[in-house]
Amino acid sequence: MRSTESPWHGRDFRALFAASALSQFATNVSYVAVPLIAVSALDAGPGQAGALATLSTVAFLLIGLPAGAWVDRMRQRGVLICADLARGSLLASVPLAWWLDALTLGHLYAVVLLNGCATVFFDVGSQSALPKLVGRGALVRANAAVVSLQAVANIAGRGLGGGLVQLLTAPVAILCAAVGHLASALGLTAVRATERPPSAPGLGAQIAEGVRHVAGDRELRALAATAALSNLGSQLVNTMLPILFVRELGLSAGALGLYWAAGGVGLLLGARCAPPLAARFGHGRVLGLAGAALAPAALLVPLIGAAPWLWVAAGGWVLAMFKIGVDNVLGVSLRQHKTPDALLGRMNATFRCLLTGALAVGAALSGLLGELVGVRPTLWAGGAVLATAFVPVLLSPLRGRWTLVAGEEAREPAAGRP
């Protein structure tokens, strides 16, 4: 059953989308600028770069699960606004410390850790609010728009981040990111406030209910495993790229931003192609077969070097990100569809804890491997994980699911159906 509903008819979705655009651009500018200021200005090595990346995502492991229960108890618009205000204020402290000649790695560590805590609430809150704002019939189209936005932000935000660092210095780039988060918080005030959910006793029991919902469903378990492996592999690669580009290849910050932006192109194409591919071949088949066909391209990424290998590696990265773009649209839509409204925060928090926890583990492991065996072997390890991440979905009942609708998991399309 294909929905003809459009999420763009709702004012709240348009307001959320516009605010998220500002926040996503800010996030991607800081994604480039923060590690570059650590490597170029504070002389961070592989281990310190790994620690910085780990601290930026470890909050999902520390507070991810209780955050989901808290989000289910709070008005989600307020959660999003407070999260963006916190992120903007924290990032603004970095250029201030720089201009006062007081910036240290310890300061950066604290900023990325606390920024990650705010991001926990923003990510869980936004994914939990979406089904309530657009209705479940419009989930695929809404998620395609959101993932496309994330991809465009990857392309423009990381490219812009690299350019701002090169032209105006990293502190100015980080200040621009801070302003973006603050502007996002202002834009979120246009989303109509939702009623506060009824209070429920027993935070621990609520957390356990969300974990059981994910762990007890074979399809949700497979989605979580594949997404976690994808995040682990991509973080093994991404943590080493600033060191590879700046120190080993002698390339500019702008070149690094453009390389990351190329991955955003793949993510965008995957997000835009996901709805028609799912309508033609079925949601589950696309999730499994796209992974089997495209994920092995990640093995081209470790070949990165001087031209033409830089272009070969970039092509592999684009294909790997195309696969992740498809996964993000269809996988997120499916898990939202299978979850009651009252459990959305806890389900999303469980997924974000696993998925972003994988980023934290990948960053720490990347830093450790970078110190012990070098940058290039670490890239090979990341490429190998990315190349095999599709296996849990391919081996699960998802491969027979045709639509999001319960009871149509393995149903073939009727004759003549598009």
**Which pLDDT score is estimated for 414?**
37
For the chain, the domain total comes to: 1
pLDDT band at 198 (very low <50, low <70, confident <90, very high): low
Residue 228 has pLDDT above 80, yes or no: yes
- Is 70 a member of any domain? yes
Whether residue 199 has pLDDT greater than 60: no
Residue 310 CA, chain-centre distance (Å), reads 24
Condensed to tens digits (0 to 9), the pLDDT of residues 39-89 reads 777 777 777 877 887 787 777 778 777 877 777 777 778 888 999 999 999
Most trustworthy range by pLDDT among 40-44, 229-233, 258-262, 359-363? 229-233
Q: What angle do CA 412, 416, 418 make, to 5 degrees?
A: 75
Least confident of 12-21, 128-137, 193-202, 225-234: 193-202
Summary mean pLDDT of the chain: 80
Instruction: Give just the sign of the alpha carbon dihedral 401, 342, 138, 354.
Output: negative
Which pTM value belongs to this model? Answer: 0.67
Share of the chain above pLDDT 90, in %: 8
Please list the alpha-helical segments (H only) found in 338-410.
Answer: 344-372, 375-388, 391-394
Q: Does residue 413 lie within any of the structural domains?
A: no
354 located within any domain: yes
Predicted local confidence at residue 307, as pLDDT: 72
Q: How confident is the model at residue 408 (pLDDT cuts 50, 70, 90)?
A: very low
Q: How far apart are CA 145 and CA 270, in angstroms?
A: 11
Q: 306: left (phi > 0), else alpha (psi -120 to 50), else beta?
A: beta
For residue range 93-114, list pLDDT tens digits in order.
988 988 888 888 889 899 999 9
DSSP string, 399-417: GG--SSSTT-TTPPPPTT-
Question: What pLDDT shows up at residue 92?
Answer: 93
User: Three-state DSSP class for 281?
Assistant: helix
CATH of the domain at 305: 1.20.1250.20
pLDDT band at 128, cuts 50/70/90?
Answer: confident
User: Tens digits of per-residue pLDDT, 345-394?
Assistant: 778 778 878 887 788 788 888 888 888 888 888 989 988 998 888 888 88
Q: How high is the pLDDT of residue 194?
A: 55
- Tell me if 260 is assigned to some domain: yes
139 is a domain residue: yes
Q: Say if residues 358 and 232 touch (Cβ distance below 8 Å).
A: yes
What 402-408 contacts at long range (C-beta under 8 Å, 24+ apart), as own/partner pairs, is 402/282, 402/283, 402/284, 403/1, 403/2, 403/282, 403/283, 404/139, 404/140, 404/283, 404/333, 404/334, 404/337, 405/1, 406/338, 408/1
Q: Which residues of 356-379 are buried (b: 16+ CB within 10 A; e: fewer)?
A: bbbbbbbbbbbbbbbeeeebeebb
Residues of the domain holding 163: 7-190+202-400
Summarised one tens digit per residue, pLDDT across range 298-338 is 888 888 877 787 788 888 888 988 988 888 888 888 888 88
Neighbours of 412 (CB within 10 A): 10
Evaluate the CA torsion angle 19, 89, 29, 383 in order and state its sign. Answer: negative
Residue 151 within any structural domain of the chain: yes
407 in a structural domain: no
